[in-house]
């Protein structure tokens, strides 16, 4: 596949350190085989996340200089609110410092002990906030998402039949919230169709359950809809975003992804007049946890960059390049017979580590094994999205078995070039050639009670 050329040129560069394999072997050992413990400067290509690792544009940097740092009522706040209203059609827009802050501020209004939240798939911090509110988080993605080799469109969709069954099983009054994650990060950055949004929205209305969009990658999702969903080819990205959001009641957003900034988050409520109590709750929680409502834990300059980034993320030429870059990497893996969650998703390639290391069981964490091999091979830092990330059952403490054992290569926006992408492909090809020689994975020697993958210590078995 041909690489889609960048619709920008580079004005400022950041030097990255080159290390030897011996140095990297020592560094990952010192990091207790946890990639989060590595120093960023010891990483050559950092694919740990696409979150907050994006390159801002000259317009955004100019906006940083214009940021209004007033404690209350800053100009940059009003600019952000106007952009949010214009793009999403939601009248209440609340900045917060990042996505999990949005969850922390919003979820307690809907979720309590004994209740359930159902999602096409929860991201790990989102799941944690459901559990911190006392509720249980249940995933309900379509079956085809669980087979990485099955190439079909909109593999991020909610299984609507199962959603209805779950609501009936739990009792509608016990389901506090339905969350649509677009794109579906944990399923491989797979998109959700407009039609699926409509159907989920209809079910939520029928059972009177509020519907929240986890909107971190809303623009990439809209690009997939435009390209792949019948009847949407002539809509603009902005029209598709509007339509998508019209089906929900509110959104929580990590703005560190598709809005191409380094820090920020948003909460949106479609109809604040009908939800006055909810908005008052959001404001109260925001003031307690994040800061006054017109800055929500962000500096004025962050609000300004975010307002600009909301529009830049919708640019179709940029999105074509962005998704094209991920697809180019996937096509190189196709040529080499390396399995991944296919087709490629929006923000990265999720390599099927269970297929690469069939000899390594889930409780020895194949996704983490491949992450560590990538670092040793080429200084690339990726991330396990599998049983290591999933953690233990909160009731029994037993290791859970994930539906997938992925190693995610998340691509930061506007940061790496085609040559970097080729380094990624070549490293994976080299590891695949010797994959059968790796007989064992890792065991955990220490772990915290929740979100353990960020901090746990491991050792080779």
Active-site amino acid positions: 71, 123-124, 214, 216, 257, 453
Q: How many CB atoms lie within 10 A of CB 8?
A: 13
- List 84, 156, 265, 386, residue binding ligand F0G (CB under 6 A): 265
Tokens of residue 377, six digits: 């091979």
Residue 38 DSSP symbol: S
Task: Examine residue 254 and tell whether it contacts ligand F0G (CB under 6 A).
Answer: yes
Length of the chain: 461
Which residue is nearest to ligand F0G, using beta carbons?
99
The dihedrals phi and psi of 330, each to the nearest 5 degrees, come to: -60, -40
* Distance of closest approach, residue 453 Cβ to ligand F0G, in angstroms: 11
Task: Examine residue 275 and tell whether it contacts ligand F0G (CB under 6 A).
Answer: no
Please say which residue, 344 or 410, places its beta carbon nearer to ligand F0G: 410
The piece of 96-104, 144-152, 165-173, 274-282 that touches ligand F0G (CB under 6 A) is 96-104
Tokens of residue 341, six digits: 């969650």
Task: Examine residue 414 and tell whether it contacts ligand F0G (CB under 6 A).
Answer: no
The piece of 119-127, 132-140, 155-163, 451-459 that touches ligand F0G (CB under 6 A) is 119-127
- List 49, 157, 190, 221, residue binding ligand F0G (CB under 6 A): 49
Order of all β-strands in the sheet with 265-269? 92-96, 265-269, 250-254, 211-214, 175-181, 116-119, 136-139
Tokens of residue 263, six digits: 């820090």
The piece of 97-105, 243-251, 272-280, 293-301 that touches ligand F0G (CB under 6 A) is 97-105
Task: Examine residue 54 and tell whether it contacts ligand F0G (CB under 6 A).
Answer: no
How many angstroms separate the CA atoms of 180 and 158, rounded? 8
The dihedrals phi and psi of 374, each to the nearest 5 degrees, come to: -65, -40
Binding-site residue total for ligand F0G (CB under 6 A)? 16
- List 216, 266, 305, 438, residue binding ligand F0G (CB under 6 A): 216
Residue 409 is inside which H or E element, if any?
strand 406-410
The piece of 121-129, 156-164, 204-212, 399-407 that touches ligand F0G (CB under 6 A) is 121-129
How many angstroms separate the CA atoms of 427 and 396, rounded? 39
How many angstroms separate the CA atoms of 145 and 157, rounded? 8
How many angstroms separate the CA atoms of 368 and 28, rounded? 12
* Distance of closest approach, residue 415 Cβ to ligand F0G, in angstroms: 14
Please say which residue, 185 or 342, places its beta carbon nearer to ligand F0G: 185
* Distance of closest approach, residue 217 Cβ to ligand F0G, in angstroms: 7
Q: How many CB atoms lie within 10 A of CB 242?
A: 17
Please say which residue, 98 or 368, places its beta carbon nearer to ligand F0G: 98
Residue 5 is inside which H or E element, if any?
none
CA triplet 301, 100, 93: central angle to 5 degrees?
Answer: 55
Please say which residue, 34 or 254, places its beta carbon nearer to ligand F0G: 254
- List 24, 27, 79, 100, residue binding ligand F0G (CB under 6 A): 100
- Angle, nearest 10°, between helix axes 124-132 and 99-106? 20
- List 33, 90, 123, 154, residue binding ligand F0G (CB under 6 A): 123
- List 98, 190, 325, 387, residue binding ligand F0G (CB under 6 A): 98
The piece of 11-19, 36-44, 118-126, 266-274 that touches ligand F0G (CB under 6 A) is 118-126
- Angle, nearest 10°, between helix axes 418-433 and 316-336? 20
Task: Examine residue 185 and tell whether it contacts ligand F0G (CB under 6 A).
Answer: yes
How many angstroms separate the CA atoms of 160 and 341, rounded? 22
How many angstroms separate the CA atoms of 405 and 460, rounded? 18
Please say which residue, 34 or 49, places its beta carbon nearer to ligand F0G: 49
DSSP 3-state assignment of 178? strand
* Distance of closest approach, residue 346 Cβ to ligand F0G, in angstroms: 11
Please say which residue, 369 or 383, places its beta carbon nearer to ligand F0G: 383
Per the CB < 8 A criterion, the answer to whether 362 and 326 are in contact is no
Task: Examine residue 181 and tell whether it contacts ligand F0G (CB under 6 A).
Answer: yes
Task: Examine residue 220 and tell whether it contacts ligand F0G (CB under 6 A).
Answer: no
Please say which residue, 45 or 410, places its beta carbon nearer to ligand F0G: 410
The dihedrals phi and psi of 302, each to the nearest 5 degrees, come to: -65, -40
- List 99, 176, 371, 441, residue binding ligand F0G (CB under 6 A): 99
Residue 455 DSSP symbol: T
Residue 392 DSSP symbol: B
Task: Examine residue 126 and tell whether it contacts ligand F0G (CB under 6 A).
Answer: yes
- Angle, nearest 10°, between helix axes 276-289 and 99-106? 120
* Distance of closest approach, residue 185 Cβ to ligand F0G, in angstroms: 4
Tokens of residue 83, six digits: 């952009």
- List 60, 120, 125, 285, residue binding ligand F0G (CB under 6 A): 125
Please report, as ranges, the residues that interact with ligand F0G according to CB under 6 A.
49, 51, 98-100, 123, 125-126, 181, 185, 214, 216, 254, 256, 265, 410
């Amino acid at each position: 596949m041909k690489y889609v050329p960048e619709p920008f040129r580079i004005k400022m560069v950041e030097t990255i350190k080159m290390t030897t394999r011996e140095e990297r072997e020592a560094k990952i050992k010192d990091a207790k085989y946890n990639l989060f413990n590595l120093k960023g400067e010891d990483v050559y290509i950092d694919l740990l996340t696409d979150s907050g690792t994006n390159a801002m544009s000259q317009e955004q940097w100019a906006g940083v200089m214009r940021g209004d740092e007033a404690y209350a009522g800053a100009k940059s706040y009003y600019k952000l609110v106007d952009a949010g209203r214009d793009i999403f059609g939601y009248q209440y827009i609340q900045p917060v410092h990042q996505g999990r802050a949005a969850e922390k501020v919003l979820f307690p209004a809907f979720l309590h002990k004994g209740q359930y939240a159902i999602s096409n798939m929860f991201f790990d911090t989102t799941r944690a906030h459901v559990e911190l509110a006392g509720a249980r988080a249940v995933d309900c993605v379509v079956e085809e998402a669980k087979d990485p080799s099955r190439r079909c469109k909109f593999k991020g969709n909610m299984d609507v039949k199962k959603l209805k069954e779950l609501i009936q099983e739990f009792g509608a009054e016990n389901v506090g919230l339905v969350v649509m994650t677009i794109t579906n990060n944990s399923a491989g950055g797979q998109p959700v169709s407009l039609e699926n949004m409509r159907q989920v929205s209809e079910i939520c209305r029928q059972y009177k359950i509020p519907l929240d969009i986890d909107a971190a990658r809303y623009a990439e999702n809209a690009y997939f809809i435009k390209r792949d969903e019948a009847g949407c080819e002539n809509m603009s990205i902005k029209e598709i975003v509007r339509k998508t959001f019209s089906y929900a009641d509110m959104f929580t957003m990590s703005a560190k992804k598709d809005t191409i900034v380094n820090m920020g988050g948003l909460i949106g409520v479609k109809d604040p007049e009908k939800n006055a109590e909810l908005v008052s709750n959001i404001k109260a929680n925001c003031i307690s946890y994040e800061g006054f409502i017109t800055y929500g834990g962000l500096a004025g300059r962050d609000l300004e960059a975010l307002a600009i980034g909301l529009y830049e993320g919708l640019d179709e030429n940029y999105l074509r390049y962005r998704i094209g870059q991920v697809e180019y990497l996937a096509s190189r893996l196709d040529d080499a017979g390396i399995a991944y969650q296919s087709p490629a998703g929006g923000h990265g390639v999720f390599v099927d580590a269970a297929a690469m290391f069939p000899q390594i069981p889930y409780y020895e964490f194949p996704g983490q094994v491949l992450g560590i091999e990538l670092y040793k091979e080429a200084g690339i830092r990726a991330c396990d999205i599998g049983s290591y990330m999933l953690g233990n059952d909160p009731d029994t403490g037993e290791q859970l078995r994930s539906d997938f054992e992925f190693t995610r290569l998340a691509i930061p926006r506007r940061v790496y070039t085609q040559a970097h992408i080729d380094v990624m492909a070549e490293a994976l090809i080299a590891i695949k050639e010797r994959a059968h020689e790796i007989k064992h994975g890792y065991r955990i020697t220490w772990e915290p009670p929740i979100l353990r993958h960020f901090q746990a210590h491991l050792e080779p078995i």
